[in-house]
Amino acid sequence: MEIGIGLFGLGTVGSGVVKILQDNAEQITKRTGAHLVVKQAVVRNLAKQRTGFRQNFPITDDPNDILANPAIQIVVEVMGSIDQAYTIIKQALTAKKHVVTANKDLIASRGQELVAIAEANGVDLFFEAAVAGGIPILRTLSTSFTADEISRVAGIINGTSNFILTQMATNHLSYHAALKLAQEKGFAESDPTNDVDGFDAAYKLIILANFAFGIQPVMSDLTIQGITGLTDADIADANSFGYALKLLGVAQRVGETKDAISIEVSPQLVPFTHPLATVNNENNAVLVNGESVGEVMLYGPGAGEMPTANSVLSDLTNVATDLALNTPGRPFNSFNQNIDLAKPSQRIARRFIVIEVDDTPGAMYSVTGMFAAAKISFTDLKQTPAANGIARLVALTHPASDAQINLIRTTIRNADGINLAAEYKLFS
């Protein structure tokens, strides 16, 4: 059986897809029974040189060359953007073509609409590559934890930020030097906002939370904090307490009866002994905690041409299987339920807190008074010698809620000579 593929996009991921389809054609046919053949690619700039793969298919800039081509059964959307990609995927699904996409922004924002359109048209819509590049986390969540109650899904799901934090920690680079290195190595774009401010991780976390809990969060449901405010001193202090500082996406059940979900992207302190702490540089990892299974982690490359293309291929071979068995049209994740979002008082964790305070008599007394008033108590405390008349106080606290932290933030903001320089959760 021959299956025709139409590619939107021949950039990093698109050319990787072409390479695998060409290099591993024999194996793919042997294992799926299908010949997967690229029939057409659509790009933006026809003048661009395309190298690195044999090109035995036409390239155009007209979406209709794919959408109206009856020889194409599967559309692979690896061009990016939300609106244009939405329109194209919707048209493809409506034309009863299966769709594979790597577009996290789109799936996080309008995935549910597209899933409904796919179902209505009896076609597949898969997007394994949209979360954590080469790591097969979505298919795993949808096939291997169906009978378990997941309590948390958490991960290092932005390779750019993790590269920067790793370089800051191990090579003692400043944030800006580490960002520059990431850009030189191709791990960060010239405008890194999407990565370092946590938005990219937030998109992926929305998709993970949907698969793990059946909920459909939107961006405004998430607390999002990036890594731009993070200093090498914060990292050194976290390390000295036995923790790595990592940008995490965490979606978890909270509350006495575990009936609310907290979703946030933020830098957190991870104990050196925890497997997440060992995930370095551009690598990603997703941790799943289930009532039955306990703690499982999937680790691997979070991006890159070939790993990401491999995830697209895993979707393609699964469409091929569905075609062979005549079973397409089932949603990638068919799990839907309503769970409330957590209130700040339900989001409880130990904290790492850095306070800068004028080095005057009684200053420390007033700081500790503020924390006592917010009922936040310390487990570890470290004061380093004052520089420029300012003392740096680093503390780990007992569990405290976001509500308590909001209170202390307000108190400190209204006080003179004291500044809350950093506040991060401890992951456990």
Ligand X SMILES: NC(=O)c1ccc[n+]([C@@H]2O[C@H](COP(=O)([O-])OP(=O)(O)OC[C@H]3O[C@@H](n4cnc5c(N)ncnc54)[C@H](OP(=O)(O)O)[C@@H]3O)[C@@H](O)[C@H]2O)c1
Pull the structure tokens for residue 127: 């997007």
Q: Which residue in 160, 310, 401, 404 binds its own copies (CB under 8 A)?
A: 310
Do 185 and 162 meet the contact criterion of CB atoms below 8 Å apart?
Answer: no
Judge whether 113 is annotated as a binding position: no
Beta strand 243-254 with 150-156 is antiparallel
Based on the shown chain and the rule CB under 8 A, indicate whether residue 6 belongs to the binding site for its own copies: no
Which of 139, 65, 71 has the alpha carbon at shortest distance from 100?
Answer: 139
The residue count for the chain? 428
Count of CB atoms situated within 10 Å of the CB of 297:
17
Our CB check for its own copies shows the closer of 138 and 407 to be 138
Q: How many residues bind its own copies (CB under 8 A)?
A: 56
Pull the structure tokens for residue 425: 């959760």
Based on the shown chain and the rule CB under 6 A, indicate whether residue 129 belongs to the binding site for ligand X: yes
Residue 48 binds which of ligand X, its own copies, none (CB < 5-8 A, kind-dependent): ligand X
CA–CA gap between residue 69 and residue 52 (Å, rounded): 26
Sequence-ordered list of residues with C-beta below 8 angstroms from that of 316, at least 6 positions apart, any chain: 5, 36, 74, 76, 100
Residue 419 binds which of ligand X, its own copies, none (CB < 5-8 A, kind-dependent): none
Distance in Å, CB of 213 to ligand X, minimum: 23
* Rg of the chain taking only CA atoms, in angstroms: 24
User: Which residue is catalytic, options 30, 96, 180, 204?
Assistant: 204
Pull the structure tokens for residue 40: 């057409």
Based on the shown chain and the rule CB under 6 A, indicate whether residue 108 belongs to the binding site for ligand X: no
Distance in Å, CB of 15 to ligand X, minimum: 8
Q: Is 298 exposed, middle or buried (CB count within 10 Å of its CB: 0-12, 13-18, 19+)?
A: middle
Distance in Å, CB of 19 to its own copies, minimum: 8
Distance in Å, CB of 155 to ligand X, minimum: 14
Q: Which residue in 115, 153, 207, 303 binds ligand X (CB under 6 A)?
A: 303
Four-residue CA torsion sign, 213, 214, 215, 217: positive
Residue 129 binds which of ligand X, its own copies, none (CB < 5-8 A, kind-dependent): ligand X
Do 103 and 201 meet the contact criterion of CB atoms below 8 Å apart?
Answer: no
Do 305 and 363 meet the contact criterion of CB atoms below 8 Å apart?
Answer: no
Greatest CA separation for the chain: 82
258 is catalytic: no
Pull the structure tokens for residue 353: 């807190």
Q: Which residue in 14, 136, 217, 328 binds ligand X (CB under 6 A)?
A: 14
Distance in Å, CB of 16 to its own copies, minimum: 8
Our CB check for ligand X shows the closer of 193 and 334 to be 193
Q: Which residue in 22, 87, 144, 240 binds its own copies (CB under 8 A)?
A: 144
Do 297 and 276 meet the contact criterion of CB atoms below 8 Å apart?
Answer: yes
Distance in Å, CB of 102 to ligand X, minimum: 3
With CB atoms as reference, the residue minimizing the distance to ligand X is 11
Judge whether 26 is annotated as a binding position: no
Pull the structure tokens for residue 194: 């999407």
Enzyme catalytic residues: 204
Interface residues toward its own copies, by CB under 8 A: 16, 20-21, 24, 27-28, 30-32, 128, 134-136, 139-140, 143-149, 273, 275, 278-280, 290-301, 304, 306-307, 309-311, 313-314, 316-318, 325, 327, 330, 334-335, 337
Interface residues toward ligand X, by CB under 6 A: 8-14, 42-45, 48, 78-80, 84, 102-104, 129, 133, 303-304, 308
